[in-house]
C-alpha cells in the first residue's frame, strides 16, 4: 500500500472560528473514501483546506501528500502535485470558455504546451463519455450552467486533468438518475490503483456503482467513526442521530 494523503491532528479555522479539530485521515493509493456528515459539519471546509484555500488558517497539525508536507503550499502548487477538488459550488467565470480554460489548466499542470487539436479531441471524448453535450466546451466556464451541468463539468475537469487525488464535494447532488449513472461511470473509469478518491456525499446513490473502501462520519469538525459501506447504508436508513457517538 502506498500512502498518498495523510492528515495529522488537523485544526483549521476561519475568522478565528475553529471548524476542523483534531482531524486525522489517511488515504492510500487505490482507495475510495466516503465522507458523510450533517450539514455544517465541516466537510467542505476540510476539502477546501486540503486544496489550500487561503481563507482558512491551519492552526495546528499538518497535511502530507506523497511524503511531502504541503500544509504551507499554495493552491496551484497542490494542483500541480496532483490534488483535485470538484467544488460543491463551482465558480462562474465570464469570458473564458471551458475548452480554453481546461487547456490552460492542463498546460499549467503538466508544464507542457498542449496542442490545440489533440486537446480538443481528448476533451470531446471525455465529454461524450459522461454524456455531456460537447456544445458546452465553447460556453463560458460554468456561466449559466444548471446545477447538474456544473457538476458534470467538474467531472470533465477531473478526467482531463487526471489527478492523483480527487476530492468530490457533493458532486452527486442535484444530478438526475441518468446523470448519476454517467458520473459514476466516469468515476469508475478514473479510478485506478495509482490514484485515490474522497467522495463527500449525503446519500448512497453513487455508492451502488462506486464501491468505497472506507466510510467516515465527520461531525463537529472531526472524524467520529470509520467503517465500511454498511455504515453509509445505516446512516441512509436511520440518520446521524442513531449513531452512538453523536
Ligand X SMILES: Nc1ncnc2c1ncn2[C@@H]1O[C@H](COP(=O)(O)OP(=O)(O)OP(=O)(O)O)[C@@H](O)[C@H]1O
**Cell 507542457 identifies what position?**
112
Q: Quick check: 189 binds other proteins (CB under 8 A)?
A: no
- Applying CB under 8 A, does 109 fall inside the site for other proteins? yes
Which residue, 65 or 101, has its beta carbon nearer to other proteins? 101
Q: Which of 23, 42, 83, 197 binds ligand X (CB under 6 A)?
A: 42
Distance CA(221)–CA(231), nearest Å, equals 19
Sorted by sequence, the CB contacts under 8 Å of residue 57 that are 6+ apart come out as 12, 13, 14
Report, in angstroms and rounded to the nearest whole number, the Rg of the chain calculated over CA atoms.
Answer: 18
Strands 196-200 and 165-169: parallel
| Segment 76 to 95, residues that bind ligand X, using CB under 6 A | 88
Is 104 an interacting residue with respect to other proteins (CB under 8 A)? yes
Cβ atoms of residues 183 and 155 within 8 Å: yes
54 binds ligand X (CB under 6 A): no
- What gap in Å lies between CA 235 and CA 111, rounded to an integer? 43
202: closest CA among 179, 162, 220, 175?
Answer: 175
Is residue 86 within the footprint of Mg ion (CB under 5 A)?
no
* Residue 241 touching ligand X (CB under 6 A): no
Contact 30, 230 (CB under 8 A): no
Asked if 39 touches ligand X (CB under 6 A), the answer is yes
Give the strand pairing for 68-69 and 57-65: antiparallel
Distance of closest approach, residue 70 Cβ to other proteins, in angstroms: 13
Looking at the Cβ atoms of 14 and 161, the one nearer to ligand X is 14
Q: Are 84 and 165 in contact (CB under 8 A)?
A: yes
State which residue, 139 or 225, has the beta carbon closest to other proteins.
Answer: 139
Using CB under 8 A as the binding rule, whether residue 54 contacts other proteins is answered as yes
Instruction: Determine, following the binding rule CB under 6 A, whether residue 205 of this chain makes contact with ligand X.
Output: no
Our finding on whether 65 is near other proteins (CB under 8 A) is no
One of 34, 36, 44, 136 touching ligand X (CB under 6 A): 44
Q: Does 71 bind other proteins (CB under 8 A)?
A: no
Q: Is 87 in the site for other proteins (CB under 8 A)?
A: yes
Between helix 116-129 and helix 177-190 the angle, nearest 10°, is 130
Q: How many whole angstroms separate alpha carbon 166 and alpha carbon 83?
A: 6
Closest approach of Cβ 240 to other proteins, in Å?
Answer: 28
Cα separation, 244 vs 152, whole angstroms? 36
For residue 80 the three cell numbers come to 500541480
Using CB under 5 A as the criterion, which residues of the chain lie in contact with Mg ion when the complex forms?
43-44, 88
Using CB under 6 A as the criterion, which residues of the chain lie in contact with ligand X when the complex forms?
14-15, 17, 19, 37, 39-45, 88
Using CB under 8 A as the criterion, which residues of the chain lie in contact with other proteins when the complex forms?
48, 51, 53-55, 74-76, 78-80, 84-85, 87, 90-91, 93-97, 100-102, 104-106, 108-109, 157, 161
Amino acid at each position: 500500500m502506498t500512502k498518498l494523503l495523510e492528515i495529522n491532528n488537523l485544526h483549521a479555522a476561519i475568522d478565528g472560528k475553529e471548524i476542523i479539530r483534531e482531524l486525522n485521515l489517511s488515504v492510500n493509493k487505490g482507495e475510495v473514501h466516503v465522507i458523510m456528515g450533517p450539514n455544517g459539519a465541516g466537510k467542505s471546509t476540510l476539502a477546501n483546506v486540503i486544496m489550500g484555500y487561503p481563507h482558512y488558517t491551519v492552526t495546528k497539525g499538518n497535511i502530507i501528500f506523497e511524503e511531502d508536507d504541503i500544509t504551507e503550499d499554495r493552491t496551484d502548487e497542490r494542483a500541480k502535485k496532483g490534488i483535485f477538488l470538484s467544488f460543491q459550488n463551482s465558480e462562474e467565470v465570464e469570458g473564458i470558455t471551458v475548452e480554453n480554460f481546461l487547456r490552460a489548466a492542463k498546460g499549467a499542470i503538466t508544464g507542457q504546451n498542449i496542442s490545440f487539436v489533440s486537446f480538443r479531441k481528448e476533451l470531446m471524448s471525455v465529454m461524450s463519455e459522461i454524456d455531456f453535450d460537447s456544445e458546452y466546451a465553447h460556453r463560458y466556464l460554468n456561466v449559466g450552467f444548471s446545477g447538474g451541468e456544473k457538476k458534470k463539468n467538474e467531472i470533465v475537469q477531473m478526467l482531463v486533468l487526471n489527478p492523483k487525488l480527487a476530492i468530490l464535494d457533493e458532486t452527486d447532488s442535484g444530478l438526475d438518475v441518468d446523470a448519476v449513472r454517467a458520473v459514476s461511470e466516469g468515476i469508475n473509469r478514473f479510478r485506478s490503483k495509482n490514484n485515490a478518491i474522497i467522495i463527500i456525499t449525503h446519500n448512497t446513490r453513487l455508492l451502488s456503482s462506486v464501491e468505497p473502501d472506507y466510510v467516515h462520519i465527520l461531525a463537529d469538525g472531526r472524524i467520529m467513526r470509520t467503517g465500511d459501506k454498511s455504515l453509509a447504508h445505516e446512516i441512509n436508513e436511520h440518520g446521524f442521530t442513531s449513531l452512538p457517538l453523536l
